[in-house]
Structures are given as structure tokens and as C-alpha cells.
Amino acid sequence: MPRLLLADDDHDFCALLERYFSTEGFEVELAHAGEQALAAALAGDFDLIVLDIMMPGMNGLEVLRRLRAGKTTPVLMLTALGEDSDSILGFEQGADDYLGKPCNLQVLLARVKALLRRSEANTGGQHDDHGLLRIGDLTMNTRAHSVQCADRSLNLTSTEFAILETLLRQAGQVVAKSDLSERVLRRSLGRFDRSLDMHISNLRQKMGPLPGGDERIKTIRGIGYQYLAE
């Protein structure tokens, strides 16, 4: 039974989500304030966290920032509908996905299940014999879920890890954005969906450039992304 933390200051909305997810086979814990959500997330062993940005006291972005200092639990942010700046800030702090409020419960459930499938694939999927992918000065251990880049350990979210693994396995080739969205985000790419762009931007910042100064992940305009194989 997947363990889910729902953090939102709207008690009625949380009660609705708790009933809905419980009938779908989830074990649900609720939090209604930022400090409460952070304490629960750090103390509990949750499979996924649904985190609202607007909460009293510590807001969701600060909760996420502090959480990411020690945990990689997948996080889906809930943002006010149309507040793109909030979703961008969420990705910068390490969110795995976001959804605008008010949201369709079936869509939310689909997003949660997609994140859980990806998280399970990262920890228990099929790997090469040693679980290692090496491209230049970057080494990914798919079994240990770790990445070393230029002798630095990278702290990646589950989504960032999955995107990077997909690109590394096809290093030197262009991976279409639509394919990357289907394989990693487990959904079709929306016309105005900037999720992949933000995750790629975060990866670039965390990895830094190649020794020669080029970006490790190249954007092929109108098509997708390519990890440059030295």
C-alpha cells in the first residue's frame, strides 16, 4: 500500500483527497501547515508527497527546499491555476511535477501513479550488468541511484535522474521531447507544458558544462534534447 502525504491548508479539500486516495488503495497522512508537513515528511517513510504551495507559516516552496537537503521523496506541487512562476520556482527547488488548482481528481491520481511508477523503475528496474553508465567524466550508478560528475556527487530528484538516464542511454542521439515526456513523465507532452524544460535546466545547473565549456545537454530546437558524447 503506497504511503502518501497530503499537505494543504484547505481541510475540506484534504478530506476529499483522503477519501478518494484511500479508496484507490493508498495509505494517507494529512498536514495542514508548512512546519507540520516538513516534520511529517522528514520523520515518515512516504512514497510520495502532494504539497500545496500556499500554506500558513512556512510555504510549500520552503518545505520543499528544506526537504531536498536530505530526502529525494517524489513531490508533486499544487499551484494556483495559471501561476507559472510558482511552478518554475517549484522545479528549481526540486519538485518532480506540478498541477494547477482546482484540479481534476482523476488527473491528480494519474500524475501520482506515474511518479510512483517512475520511482519504482529507478530503484527496481532492469539495469546493465553492473548498473553503471559512463559518459566522459560522468558516471551514473542505476542500482545505487547515484551520479558522479567531475568527481562531484549530484543530488538529483527522481525525475531528474530518470531524464538523465534516458539521455545517457542514447548519448549522442537526439531524444524527442514527446518521447521523453511519455517515457519519463508518463504523459503526453502538452503544448504549453514546460516541465521538461525546467528539469533540463536544473540538470544543466547541477552538472555544469563539459570540460571544453559546452553544455552537456544540447537543445535541438523543435525536436528534443541530446546528451553530448565526448
pLDDT at 176: 92
Who has greater pLDDT, 98 or 40? Answer: 40
74 with 101, same domain: the answer is: yes
pLDDT at 99: 87
pLDDT at 204: 94
pTM, 2 dp: 0.68
Checking if the pLDDT of 190 tops 90, the result is: no
- What is the percent of the chain where pLDDT is above 90? 45
Paired sense of beta strands 97-101 and 75-80, if any: parallel
* Whole-number Å distance between alpha carbons of 25 and 12: 20
Residue type, 47: D
Nearest Cα residue to 10 out of 30, 25, 24, 28? 30
Q: Based on the structure, what is the number of domains in the chain?
A: 2
What does the pLDDT look like over 10-37, one tens digit per residue?
999 999 999 999 999 999 999 999 999 9
145 with 180, same domain: the answer is: yes
Range of the domain at 40: 3-123
Nearest Cα residue to 162 out of 184, 143, 181, 195? 184
pLDDT band at 124 (very low <50, low <70, confident <90, very high): very low
80 with 144, same domain: the answer is: no
110 with 209, same domain: the answer is: no
